[in-house]
Structures are given as structure tokens and as C-alpha cells.
Amino acid sequence: MHSNFTPKDFDKVVAFAKNWPKNIPLAMEFRHSDWYNDKVIADALYQLLEDFNISNVIVDTAGRRDLMHMRLTNSTAFVRYVGANHPSDYERLDDWIERLKLWKEQGVKEVDFFIHQNIEEESPLLSAYFIKQVNEKLGYALNIPNEEKQQSLF
């Protein structure tokens, strides 16, 4: 949800969740810090997401640690990772590998990990690093997407 979407709009979230088709997976991101600052509001939101099997998007942005939570609401972890085009991005990704290892042991069934950053041209490098770490540390064999430019029709 947009950063101006606050807990005063909770009834809209309830209506949306009730009307979302149950057979289509859904993840929701709440960008306003008021969703997390008040425990009563946060708990109500988490309960709603759990009741409707909606993934709670976890956002890791270097400059917005106030939105960093680790609250899963179903067996899918959806992480939106925002790099800062800084060497510390790699350290943060290493921390995520450790977290994903723990969640895997605790029964998380699916991880959707979306990586982007301010200078998107460098995102493939960050993504390739992350995939290599996932393969090495978590025992997967994910392919690193081809970095060649897409062919043109003309």
C-alpha cells in the first residue's frame, strides 16, 4: 500500500481481503510506519493477514529500518530488498541467507525475494551474488539469469 495508506484505512484492507479470491495467492506491503508502531494495530493487521492467508511483505531498505519487521503471516516469506548501491548491501544479503536458513528449518514453504536498488543496472550483480549464496548455503541449484541483452526484432 502507498505510504499515505494508514491504519485509518483498516476497513478497506478488511474489505479487500474478504473479496480477494481464496485460490489466488496474495502478498500485501504496508509502507506507513503507523501500521507497526502501535502493537494493537500491528496485531490486528497480522491477525487479518493470517485469517485470509495473505503474505505480509517484509521490506528491507537501508534508509527505512522503521519498516523492518520479521513477522510472517503464512508459510510464504515475501521479501522486498532495496539495495543502496553500497558494499553493505552484500552484508545485508548475507544476513538474509542466515534468516532464510532459520525460516526453512521452521517450516517456511516458499520464499519470494525481490531485489532492486536505486541504480538498477547493478541489480543483476546483487541478484547473482544472492543466488550464489542461496545455492551454496541453502543447497539449491537456482540458475542465474542470462545477463546478455535481449535481442531486438529490428
pLDDT digits (tens, 9 = 90+) for 110-138: 999 999 998 888 899 999 999 999 999 99
So what's the pLDDT on residue 119?
86
Would the CA dihedral through 13, 18, 20, 25 be positive or negative?
positive
pLDDT digits (tens, 9 = 90+) for 63-73: 776 667 889 99
User: Domain spans of the chain?
Assistant: 1-74, 75-142
Cell digits of residue 92: 545485508
78 forms beta bridges with 112
So what's the pLDDT on residue 26?
98
Residues of the chain with pLDDT under 70: 65-67, 147-151, 154
Can you point out the beta strands (E) in 15-149? 27-28, 55-56, 58-61, 76-83, 110-117
- Starting at the edge strand found earlier in the chain, the sheet holding 76-83 runs 58-61, 76-83, 110-117
